[in-house]
Amino acid sequence: MTRLVLSASMPTVEQGSQHMPTLGQRLQANIDNMERQRITQEARANAEKLAAELARKQEIQAQLETYKRQISDAVYAGTVFKSVKLPKKWTLYSNDAQSIAHPNHPDNHLWVDFEEWARGEDLDVDCEYAHDGMGMESWYNLTVKPL
């Protein structure tokens, strides 16, 4: 036998001695569950984006550390550091190409740290714009000079 029991809290359907949730309670549970899933998926997506961004910045930092070693090795070997072509992905393209040395570049803070290291070694590092002369390709070169 099924009977409807009304109480001050939530109405439930009583079947024998078991209390079954009402449709409204089930609907609310479904809504709550869907919201928890949405929040979990959003958090997972944000964590993945953050991890990718961190990995990208670590890659740039590692490359800058490699440049420090190459510069140091060249100077200690009694030679001159030859300019190197910076990775294309370090350049932003909007109305104007912007190297990592540009203050508006999102990774400029990494370049600023690199510049500070260079100044501490009495070096001037720069990103110099270069191109193929035919309008097909352009890039930035890392150059090093004494202060």
Q: Which tens digits make up the pLDDT trace of 113-134?
A: 999 999 999 999 998 888 888 8
DSSP-based helix, strand, coil % in the chain, nearest 5: 50, 25, 30
**Per-residue model confidence (pLDDT) at position 98:** 81
HEC states along 55-119?
A: HHHHHHHHHHHHHHHHHHHHHHCCCCCCCEECCHHHCEECCCEECCCCCCCCCHHHHHHHHHHHH
pLDDT score, position 142? 92
Instruction: Please list the ranges in the chain whose pLDDT falls under 50.
Output: 1
pLDDT at 14: 56
Identify the pLDDT of residue 19: 82
pTM of the model: 0.70
Tokens of 144: 């090093």
pLDDT at 8: 52
- Please tell me the predicted confidence (pLDDT) of residue 110: 94
Output the pLDDT for position 80.
Answer: 92
- Backbone region of residue 39 per phi and psi (left: phi > 0; alpha: psi in -120 to 50; beta: other values): alpha
